[in-house]
Structure 1
C-alpha cells in the first residue's frame, strides 16, 4: 500500500479468564459446579475451511479457527480490551513507536518446542515477504521497513521486529499507532513455528496435520477439503486450566434446513437460521440475533467487462436493485439494506457522535429507481457504443448466496438489453476466483476486524491487494492518505477525510452495496460463555463450557 497507516485491526474479542495459574476459573463457581459430564460442543459452519496458515487467511472462518488454535502477545477480553497473553510484560516508549515485550517462559507448541521471541520474528517476516504472497501483508505497514519489504525493495530481515534473547521481543513502528495492541490480538500477528513451516513447505497450513498449535485447542480431522473437523483441547496450552471444553466439532451445512434438522436431533448445539426460520423461531429462548459489521456487495470487474468502466452503466445496475425487497422478502433474516459500503456499528464522528453510515450516506448510490436506472443505462450504452450486456454473476453455493444471486438476476434483467447468468461454486473456489479477478460480477462480503471505517475503505485504494475489480480513483487515494498520515492524530479532521472518501466511492459507484448481514442463530441454552465480537473474528470458545 502507498500509505503507512493503513492498518485495519483485527479486534478479535476473546475472553481471558483467570490469570493463567492453571487453576479452575470462576466459571465453575458461577455454574455451581454443574458441568455436564460431556464437555463437547457441536457447531455448524456455512462454508468449508480455507486455510490454517495465518499468512494466507483472508476469510472469517479461517481466522476464527486460527484464533482458537493459536495465540499471540495479546488476547482481547469480553469488552474488547487487550490483555496480555503470551506477553508477560509490555512497555511502550513515550513516543509510541517502540514496544518491548517479555514473553512467558515455558509456553509450548503442540509439537513440544518452546514458543520464543524468534517465532514472532519469523512469522512477521514471512507475512511481509513477497514470496509468501499474503493478501493481508499490508496490515503490517506501520512496522518499520514493512512497506519497502512488501515492495521487494528491502530484505525481510530488515523488518522492525527483533528477538533479544529467547524471551524478549522489540517492535519498532514508523509512527505511533493508538490501536496497535488490538492489532497484536489478531491472528495475522501471531507467531508460527519455523520448524514446522520449513518441514512442510507449501503444504504448511493446508491440512490439520501440516501445522502445530499454541492456543487453547488443536485442529484435527481436517484434510483440506472435507466438511467437518474437530478442535481438541490443547494439553500443552499454557492456560489450559481455563479451557473447559474437551472438543469442538465443526460441521459444514450449506443448507440452514440441514443445520436446523441437526439441531432438532441434538446433533448440533448451534445453527444459523435464514428466511422463514427466523420468523418461526425468533420467540424461542435459544434464538440469538447477531448483527456483525459485515456487508455484502456486488463488484463489477472492469478488467473483464470494459463497459463497467462507464459510471452511468455502473449506476444503472445499482439503481435497478431493490435492497429492501432483498432483505425483507428474500433473506428474511434480519439483514439491513446498506446505506453505503461502510456499515452501521463501525464508528461515530468524534465530535457529533453521528454514525458514519448516516453521515456518509449518498442516497442515489443505494436507492431503487428502475426508471432512473434505465435513463442511466441508455446514456451508458451511447457512451460505450453498445446496446446489450451479457453478464455472469459468480457466487458461492450456499442457500443464501444462491437466493441473493437469483434475486439480482431477476432485477438486473429488468434493464433493457441486460442478460444475466449465475455460476455457483464452492466457497473456497469462489475466493480463489475473486482473488485472481476471474469473474465478471461477483457477490463479495467484507467483515471488519476493527471498528473503524478505514478497515473498509482501504480495500479500495488503487494498489490494495483486495482491489481486484479494476476501480481506481486518485482523489480517493489522496483522501485516505490524508486521513491516515496527515491527520492521523487529529480525530475530527481524519474523520472528515474518511467521510469524503466514502461519499466519493458511492458517487462514483465504485462498488454496489447490498446489505449488512445478520447472523441469526439457535444456540442451545446450556452452552455458556460464548463471546461474540460483531466487529472482528466472531467466536471465542476459550472458556466455553456445557452446563447440565
Structure 2
C-alpha cells in the first residue's frame, strides 16, 4: 500500500477553526461517542478496486468489512465465520459467511465478493492493485486480457458460501484477506455511479462499522457515523468519527492543545522533538518505509547500478532520521522493514539474516566511495554533468527532507544539479504512476506481514514499479517463492533473502528510512493500536 509522507499543511488556522466551529456544539466535540482525528491529506478514492494509499485504506477499513479483520495483531473472522484452513494442498479455501447486511438493508452475499474480485482484476478497471491477486487462479491471465473475468478462481457455492482456488499455495493468503483490496462491493451502487464510483459518499453503501456521509473527493474534512446494520455493531462504542486534513504543524498543535482534535497524527522534525515530552506522545514503528525510485525507462543512465549505488552512499541517513525527521524514522538497509517478518525456524528478523549483511554497505554513508562510483558510472554512461528533478510532497516536512537530500547529493556527487519539485499528494501519485518524474521520494506500507509485499513491487511487470527497475534473476526468485517453493517455508525464505540481496546490491530503489509515526493521543482514548497491515481497527476503540 502506498505510504505517503504528508506531515501536517493545508488549511490556515483561521479557516480550520471555521471548519471545526461548523461541526457541532462544544459538548459534541468532547463527547465520549465522537472521535476527532487529523488526517495528513484528503481521501483520493473510496473505491476498493482503485485505492492505492494508506489514507484510503484506513477509511475503507472504517466503513467496509471483508472476510477477516485484524484486532491488534490478531487476525479474526469478520464476514467469514472462522479463519479457515486450506484444502487441496493449500490451493482451495472455502468460506462459510455470516448473514450480514449492507447499510441499505440488503444482504451481503458470496456474489458480492465474486463481483468485487472480478472487477479488480478486469483490465477494463485498470486497477493498479490487480497484481496483488497474483496466485489466485487465472488472475494474471485475466488482467493481461488473455482470459475472461469469469474464469477467476472465485465462485459462490451458495448465497453464503464462497470458494477460492489458487494456482499454487500462498502461505500468507489468510492475512491477505484482511486487506481492503479484497472487500466485497455492492454491484448496483458501483454500476449506477460508473466512473464516479468512490468519489462521493452519495449512492454508496457500506457493510463495515461506520458509514461515510456527505463526502466528496476534494473535501478537507469528513464524517463517518456508526453503521447500525453492521453485523458486530454491539462491539462499536463510537457513534461518530471525524477527520480533518491538517498539514501545518502549528495549526495541528493548537487544535490538539485546545482539545479540538483528540488525535494528532504523523508529526515529524522539529514538531516531533518539541512534543516528545508530552505524556500523550507515542511513536508507532510502522511496517512501512520510504525510498528513492529512479525513472529507468526515461533515463538510461539510471539503469547503471554504480550511479544508483553512488546516490545511496552519498546520503547520511543518521542525519536524515535524527536531525530532519526528529527521530521519527529508523535507518533502513533493505526495502523490507525491520520487525515485520521472522525466520520460520530460527525466529531471526528477516533484515538481520546473514545473507543480507554483506549488502548493507550500499546503504552506509560513504562519500568517498560514492564519489568513486559516481565518476565510474558517469564515464560508463557517457555523461558529463547530470541535471534532474527530485519529486516529493508539498508538506513542510517533506520539503525539508528533500532539501536535505538535495544538499547531500550535490555536495558529494560532482557535477550533479538537482531541482526540487514539491507537489500535492494526489499530483505526486499521478506523476509517479504516469512516469512523469526523474527521481521521486515515495513509500510503501505492508499490505500483509510478509517480505513479498515489498519485494513484489519491484518485479519487472508490476504495476506499482513506477521506476521500471528490471532484473531477470530477481524476477525468477520472486516467482519461485510463489510457485515451486511456495509450500517449502525454508526454500521460500531463502528465495526472498536472495532476491532482497540482489535488489539491495543493485540499489534498484534506494532505501531511506523506516517510518516511525509520531502522534499525540488523548489519554482517554483506548485501544487505538496499529495492526500488521498499517491500519487502525476502530471497532474496539472507545473514549473513557
Instruction: For residue 92 of structure 1, report the CA deviation from its aligned partner.
Output: 4.1
2:202 counterpart residue number? 209
Equivalent pair of 1:365/1:512 in contact (CA under 8 Å) = no
- State the Cα distance separating 1:251 from its structure 2 match: 0.8
**Shift in Å at residue 366 of structure 1?**
0.5
What is residue 521 of structure 2 aligned with on the other side? 523
Q: Provide the C-alpha distance between the structure 2 equivalents of 1:526 and 1:43, rounded to a whole number of angstroms.
A: 14
Structure 1 partner of 2:10: none
Deviation at 1:484, TM superposition (A): 2.1
Deviation at 1:37, TM superposition (A): 5.1
1:91 Cα deviation (Å)? 6.9
Give the 3 Å change call, closer, same or farther, for CA 248–380 of structure 1 in structure 2.
Answer: same
Within 1, Cα distance between the matches of 2:395 and 2:85? 46
| 1:196-235 matches, cutoff 5 A | 196-235=189-228
TM-score, normalised via structure 2 length: 0.90
Partner of 1:189: 182
1:94 shift after superposition: 5.2
| Match among 121, 125, 134 for residue 132 of structure 1 | 125
SS of 1:315's partner is helix
**1:450-465 equivalence runs, <5 A:** 450-465=448-463
Q: Tell me, yes or no, if the aligned pair for 1:50 and 1:224 is still in contact at 8 Å.
A: yes
What residue in structure 1 maps to residue 20 of structure 2? none
What does residue range 504-515 of structure 1 map to in structure 2 within 5 Å? 504-515=502-513
Provide the residue aligned with 1:15 in structure 2.
none
In structure 2, the CA distance between the partners of 1:262 and 1:448, relative to structure 1 (3 Å rule), is same
Alignment of 1:271-286 (within 5 A): 271-272=264-265, 273-286=267-280
**1 CA distance for matches of 2:47 and 2:446?**
19
- Which residue of 1 is the match for residue 325 of structure 2? 331
| Alpha-carbon contact 2:170-2:482 (below 8 Å) kept | no
Structure 1 window deviating more from structure 2 (482-491 vs 47-56): it is 482-491
Tell me the matched-pair count.
510
Partner of 2:230: 237
d(CA) in 1 for partners of 2:162 and 2:468? 40
Counterpart for residue 443 of structure 1: 441
Please give the secondary structure, in 2, of the residue aligned with 1:112: coil
Deviations 1:127-186 (A, max 9, x none): 110111111112222222212211211110111211233222222222333332222221
Normalised by the length of structure 1, the TM-score is 0.90
SS in structure 2 at match of 1:340: coil
Aligned counterpart, 2:19: none
State whether residues 46 and 255 of structure 1, in contact with CA within 8 Å, keep that contact through their aligned partners in structure 2.
Answer: no
> In structure 2, how many angstroms separate the alpha carbons of the residues matched to 1:495 and 1:171?
25
The 5-angstrom pairing of residues 173-184 of structure 1 reads 173-184=166-177
* Deviation, structure 1 residue 194: 0.2
1:288 aligns with 2:286: no
Provide the C-alpha distance between the structure 1 equivalents of 2:327 and 2:254, rounded to a whole number of angstroms.
18
Q: Which runs of 5+ in 1 are unaligned?
A: 1-7, 9-35
**Which sections of structure 2, spanning at least 5 residues, go unmatched?**
2-29
Q: Which residue of 2 aligns with 1:472?
A: 470
Counterparts of 2:275 and 2:409, CA distance in 1: 33
Given the alignment, which residue of 61, 68, 75 partners 1:74? Answer: 68
Counterparts of 1:172 and 1:230 in 2: how far apart (Å)?
A: 38
- Asked if 1:405 is matched to 2:402, the reply is yes
Cα pair distance change 1:303/1:175, threshold 3 Å: closer
Whether the 8 Å CA contact 1:221–1:228 is kept in 2: the answer is no
Query: How many angstroms does 1:440 deviate by?
Result: 0.4
CA distance in 1: counterparts of 2:437 and 2:88, whole angstroms: 49
Choose from 68, 90, 97 the match for 2:91. 97
Q: 1:351 to 1:116 in 2, by over 3 A?
A: closer
- Structure 1 Cα separation of the partners of residues 277 and 401 of structure 2: 26
Contact 1:144–1:160 (Cα < 8 Å) also in 2: yes
Pair 529,476 (structure 1): closer, same or farther in 2 beyond 3 Å: same
- CA distance in 2 between partners of 1:172 and 1:376 (Å): 48
Cα distance in 2, alignment partners of residues 315 and 544 from structure 1: 45
| Aligned equivalent of 2:481 | 483
**Greater Cα offset, 502-511 or 161-170:** 161-170
Question: Structure 1 residue aligned with 2:243, among 245, 250, 269?
Answer: 250
Q: Distance in 2 between matches of 1:484 and 1:374?
A: 39
1:311 to 305, 323, 333: 305
Question: Which deviations, in whole Å up to 9, do the C-alpha atoms of 1:248-287 show, x marking residues without a partner?
Answer: 1111111233211110111111113222333333332211
3-state SS in 2 of match to 1:201: helix
Match of 1:541 in 2: 538
CA distance in 2, matches of 1:86, 1:267: 35
Local SS of the residue matching 2:124: helix
> How far apart are residue 456 of structure 1 and its match?
0.8
